[in-house]
A = this chain, B = another copy of it.
């Protein structure tokens, strides 16, 4: 529920009290809380999807899948914490014979404390009230105060009720979870001294403004923001010669998925000059209908963005129309094309994210030109290459690794698997940190290390006791040991 009657300072005080209880709870207990939330969301899936569809227009099929993804994510984090590696337990026994003699030193990660989470418009479940930021913070024992997205307030309130009830029934402490709403509450949340870290998914301007607040505090705190991403795709001449139609169909499906409102939407696609790919893509795109966007504000911004691109020199509209009333009739897909040479002339205008079902083809004439234009692409969540097995793409892969957190081969970036190896984050502005917001390692964002020197067994967390009673992987005297 949104706590209309409780002030933010009431909520952060309760979160601070809950933080000590949650930190002291065992991994098994916290895993129970996460699984209870997952079960409750699954049980309320139909009801929640209906509310979500009414607010976001994303459709029942997609939203039902997103609930499953969200509950799968909660259960993954339950598995992650019970496995125990996430504590990074390290034991160095005393060595009286070293110079100087070294003490017994044992290090582990502990929760940072209460966390603020800003939910996203485009994933009302997976990146929202009970999404990845919330799940990963709760997993490691950090209370969460969510700033609900104005695009789906009713869903946020109802999800919060379901989550709160599940946590309470499962025995989680009071104050471990709350939702607030409104811009002012969000600003206050980032600045509240009780809040020790912030997770955010949203736009570059909004995210940067909150980042600036977080790092400008008397006590700066980590701001894990996922802000914006162009997700460049490179198609080699050989790949295009092999499967131009399949590539056009795949790209059309990817950039229009969810009405082009994925953070991983392919926004720029580098193709060899002098091919018929633009025509093929236009044909494949013509089969896509677009649809209602998430919010009226987003729908109004979309054609503005389109017109800004269309007004640039040496940019062609390959498919669709920039003169559309997306707020009234839904957003329709638009494909632009330009040249790599033009990108070199005005990188800032051409290499800017346009939220919605649109993408920009960039024709390159040589490998050197391709590499030069890629060097202008800002940090992204993903970078993709379509190539043939016999091609040497090592230089290209190095360049793509340099600019993105996930490098895909012969695929499309819009799917984001939730597993141990996922990396959903990249150089700024894709993210404001060296971490991921999706996948098992996302928990590290909300942990800080503490070492205990010459501690008696009784003062140690079980993870650090000599006998390893939790049976977790640990590094002992430099050697990694499995339980």
Binding site for B on A (CB under 8 A): 20, 24, 65, 68, 79, 83, 85, 88, 90-92, 99-100, 102-103, 105-107, 110, 112, 211-212, 215-216, 219-220, 222, 379, 389, 393-394, 397-398, 401, 404-411, 415, 417, 419-423, 425, 427-429, 432-436, 439-441, 447-456, 458-459, 473, 475, 477-478, 480, 482
Contacts and interface: CB of A to CB of B under 8 A. Distances in A.
Contacts of A432: 220
A222 B449 contact: no
Contact of A408 (B212, B393, B453, B480): B453
A20 to B, nearest CB: 7
A449 B436 contact: yes
The 5 nearest A-B residue pairs measured at CB? A423-B451, A107-B421, A105-B421, A92-B421, A90-B421
Contacts of A100: 65, 415
A454 B408 contact: yes
Contacts of A453: 406-409, 411
A423 B450 contact: yes
Contacts of A105: 417, 419, 421-422
Q: Which among A212, A421, A458 has the greatest number of chain B C-beta atoms within 10 A?
A: A421
A478 B420 contact: yes
Contact of A425 (B394, B441, B449): B449
B428 A92 contact: no
A475 B436 contact: no
A284 B339 CA distance: 77
A409 B464 CA distance: 15
Contacts of A68: 99
18 contacts: A90-B420, A92-B422, A102-B417, A103-B411, A103-B417, A105-B421, A107-B421, A107-B441, A219-B428, A219-B429, A220-B428, A394-B458, A397-B455, A405-B449, A406-B450, A408-B453, A421-B451, A423-B450
A192 to B, nearest CB: 15
Q: Which among A79, A397, A429 has the greatest number of chain B C-beta atoms within 10 A?
A: A397
A449 B435 contact: yes
